[in-house]
Amino acid sequence: MATRGTGAGSAIGSRADEQRQRILDAAVAVFSRRGYGAASMNDVAAQVGLSKPTLYHYVRTKQDLLVAVYEEVLDESLRSAREIVAGAPTTREAVRALIVERVRYTCEHRDLLTICFHEESALPEELAAPILERRREFERVVRDAVEAHLHETGRTLPMALGVYVNTCLGAANWTYKWFDPAGPRSARELGEDVAGVLLGILDG
């Protein structure tokens, strides 16, 4: 995120933010290709085209980069989910759009999601706790949207609400493993397909 302000200080801040984003993008490429455990800061520096001392000017540790990856995914997911719910014309559309967007984001950022789903155990408890809270907040947005639709329509689910929400998120998230960018369906079209199946349960 660019630093706000005007003049030279703002320009310097903006350049630093751009450099940090380039480093984060390089870390994503390296971690998803080699695995977090096998990757080194030398690998990240080489990927972004910086010397190791210059890299350490922007980021202290490899662990900090891993935390930044999680924060980027979860902050973007939470922001998007809140905007979807706030702008949806109906409660059903809110649920549908949340599922579609989750599939789209997962399929279009498979390198990010590969890291998030595989490297959580590398985070120490004190760093994992705020990340897990972000994830729970995202899940609450989805759960609240489903619950609002059920309340509005008087419908009931053939399973517990939490089971349904986890089924929706599990189906959406797992697409990172098998989505084919060269296949016949785009990420958004696949999202529409997945949402259609899951809404069939909600509407039944």
| Residue, of 143 and 37, whose pLDDT is higher | 143
Determine the length of the chain. 204
Q: Is 94 exposed, middle or buried (0-12, 13-18, 19+ CB in 10 A)?
A: buried
- pLDDT of 51-96, one tens digit each? 989 998 899 899 999 998 898 899 999 999 999 999 999 999 999 9
- pLDDT of 13-34, one tens digit each? 588 888 889 999 999 999 989 8
Residue where the block lists tokens 């995202």: 138
Same domain, 1 and 91: no
Same domain, 55 and 66: no
pLDDT at residue 7 is higher than 90: no
Q: What pLDDT does 96 receive?
A: 98
Residue 194's domain is classified under what CATH number? 1.10.357.10
- pLDDT of 99-122, one tens digit each? 999 999 999 999 888 888 888 888
pTM of the entire predicted model: 0.85
Task: Indicate the residue among 60, 83, 99 that finishes a domain.
Answer: 60
CA distance to 35, 61, 111, per residue, from 115 (Å): 8, 17, 7
- The Cα diameter of the chain in Å comes to 61
Task: Indicate the residue among 60, 83, 110 that finishes a domain.
Answer: 60
Same domain, 80 and 162: yes
Residue 38 has a CB neighbour count (10 Å cut-off) of 10
Same domain, 73 and 174: yes
What are the backbone dihedrals phi and psi of residue 125, each rounded to the nearest 5 degrees, phi first? -55, -40
Identify the domain containing residue 22 by its residue range.
1-60
Q: What pLDDT does 13 receive?
A: 58
What span, in angstroms and rounded, lies between the C-alpha atoms of 161 and 53?
A: 51
Total domains in the fold of the chain: 2
- pLDDT of 145-174, one tens digit each? 999 999 999 999 999 999 999 999 999 999
Query: What residues contact 181, with CB distance under 8 A and at least 6 apart?
Result: 107, 187
Same domain, 72 and 95: yes
Same domain, 166 and 186: yes
Task: Indicate the residue among 30, 45, 60 that finishes a domain.
Answer: 60
pLDDT at residue 2 is higher than 70: no
Residue 6's domain is classified under what CATH number? 1.10.10.60
Same domain, 9 and 48: yes
Structure tokens at 85: 């719910």
